[in-house]
């Protein structure tokens, strides 16, 4: 974890990342992927979270992730979406931070864990909402899609991290 003495730089950087993740969220909502089973999302917003985590540490990633969830809720409809997205984003970040700490994994591994945890957490919230365990029917597809989209996002993010190393 690095501490910045230049607050303005950090603020600007986080603001840009936040805007980027909002754009990703918006993109996802615009591409419904009709051929995919319901509940399958690309998890693009995690890309920014993952990048921040590996480049600047968990606190920065946390700030942007939380703000992104709320702003996406305000801007793109569904205050109720916050109820699902927030636990998803938080558990995903926690999992990714733990994986990063374990050191034997690459960002791809963290992303796989993050995507899976995101979906799992959202399913748990959904189950608590309708007060039934019947939603377990969706577990296989959510775990699989979470892991696979995590893989794709992780590969993209690794590319970005590698190419921005000199910055």
Partner 1 sequence: MKRMMNLFDGLLLFAALLAAALLLWHQYARPGEAAARADVYESGNLFESRTLSEDSLIEINGVVIEISGGARVISSTCPDQRCVKRGKILRAGESIVCLPNRVSIMLAGEEALDAVLY
Q: Are 19 and 128 in contact (CB under 8 A)?
A: no
Give CA–CA dist 72/110, Å, rounded: 23
Asked if 50 touches partner 1 (CB under 8 A), the answer is: no
Interaction between residue 29 and partner 1 (CB under 8 A): no
Stretch that binds partner 1, among 20-28, 50-58, 65-73, 143-151 (CB under 8 A): 143-151
Contacts of 130 (CB under 8 A, 6+ apart): none
Stretch that binds partner 1, among 41-49, 58-66, 86-94, 127-135 (CB under 8 A): 127-135
Assess contact for 14 and 89: CB atoms under 8 A: no
Q: According to the binding rule CB under 8 A, does residue 39 interact with partner 1?
A: yes
| Two structure tokens written together for 78 | 């569904």
Packing angle, helices 79-102 and 58-75, rounded to 10: 160
Q: Does 31 bind partner 1 (CB under 8 A)?
A: no
Contacts of 32 (CB under 8 A, 6+ apart): none
Q: Is residue 129 within the footprint of partner 1 (CB under 8 A)?
A: yes
Binding region for partner 1 (CB under 8 A) out of 5-13, 14-22, 59-67, 97-105: 97-105
CB 69 → partner 1: shortest distance, Å? Answer: 18
Q: Which is nearer to partner 1, 49 or 116 (CB)?
A: 116
Query: How distant is the alpha carbon of residue 146 from its chain centre?
Result: 11
The single residue among 29, 151, 152, 160 that binds partner 1, judged by CB under 8 A, is 151
Contacts with partner 1 by CB under 8 A lie at 38-39, 99, 104-106, 108-109, 112-113, 116, 126, 129-137, 139-141, 143-144, 146-148, 151, 154-155, 158-159, 162
């Amino acid at each position: 974890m690095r501490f910045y003495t230049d607050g303005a730089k950090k603020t600007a950087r986080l603001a840009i990342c936040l805007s980027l993740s909002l754009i990703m969220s918006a993109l996802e909502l615009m591409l419904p992927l009709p051929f995919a089973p319901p509940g399958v999302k690309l998890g693009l917003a995690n890309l920014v979270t993952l990048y921040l985590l590996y480049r600047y540490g968990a606190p920065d990633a946390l700030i942007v992730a939380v703000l992104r969830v709320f702003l996406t809720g305000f801007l793109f409809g569904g205050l109720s979406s916050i109820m699902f997205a927030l636990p998803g984003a938080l558990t995903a970040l926690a999992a990714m931070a733990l994986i990063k700490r374990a050191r034997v994994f690459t960002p791809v591994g963290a992303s796989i864990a993050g995507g899976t945890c995101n979906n799992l957490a959202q399913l748990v919230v959904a189950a608590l909402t309708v007060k039934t365990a019947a939603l377990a029917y969706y577990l296989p597809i959510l775990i699989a899609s979470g892991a696979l989209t995590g893989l794709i996002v992780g590969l993209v993010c690794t590319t970005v991290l590698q190419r921005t190393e000199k910055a």
